[in-house]
Structure 1
Amino acid sequence: MEFEPYRIMAIEPLPFPSRKERRKALGEASYNVFHLRSRMITIDLVSDSGTGTMSVKQWRNLLMADEAFSFQKSYDDFVAKAKELTGFEFILPVHQARAAEHILCKLIIRKGTRVIANHLFATTREHLIRCGAEIFELPREGSGDINLKLLKKRLKKDSVVILSVT
């Protein structure tokens, strides 16, 4: 029997910028993590889309996973652990945050619902618009923060259902 003499691996060297380089990059990005270059990010916690390289253990688990269309054991394990950790009786797992946003918007947003944010992801904005929300983005110039003066004015003027700071 012939075989090819190598192992398949998935690796990517991680950047490890110095503290000085990280501080400089943050300043250049106006302290907005969405403006940082990927070469300055060692561990990316901004996205739920899995932007990092998978480990050998993750690949093994993926390849050994239950591929049944529905009712996998891992689903039951996940729901049980989520209930245990949160104390909630009902858990609705979703594949990504945008799916959760879609469900949440359908449940709580009505035409004219006011939503205030410092910055919205494109998918969040689209879900809100489709449900009829009035959106007020109040970023503070030169940063990722919310403009507190404008926020105070808006809160005095209107009742607000959702305040999102990302």
Structure 2
Amino acid sequence: MKILQRYELASGQVLNKEKSSLFFSTNTGAVEKSSILKGAGGVVCGNYDKYLGLPAMVGKSKYNTFRSVKERVWQKMESWKNKFLSQAGNEVLIKAVLQAIPSYIMSVFKLPRNLCYELNMLCSRFWWGYKDDARKVHWWNWEKMGIQKSRGGMGFRDLESFNSAMLAK
């Protein structure tokens, strides 16, 4: 903790204790925890569910960790369900909103393959039209819809490939 105090003196910056929290692993003993908390000036441990909208910790099931992304996409779709939109309007909503929702998370984490597949299927259902009890005919498969417009497709993203590209950046 002396290093922290020296840094504060040298830089003139001070630790904001209201915005800071400490995370301890399960292997850290109670004595070490209390001494670190005492040395840091009583920084209180907070909630570690999310940080900047991203999960702070990914558990054993990555699907359950990132399931909230699918739920957010579904909520957007449900809010537009009763609207009378043209196919061009549907295209804009899919590209600008539905496929943009997971982009920030995809730039940091590799989403599970089945979650990407389910997100693609939600976009496909929205494109072709859907109702709770009725299934609509999908005239093209989603892979063909992902081809560039200049080559005869619609230019929709394949989210699994997009995730890999975002991580490669």
TM-score bracket for the superposition, by shorter chain length: under 0.3
Higher strand share: 1
| The structure with more radius of gyration | 2
TM-score, normalisation: structure 2: 0.25
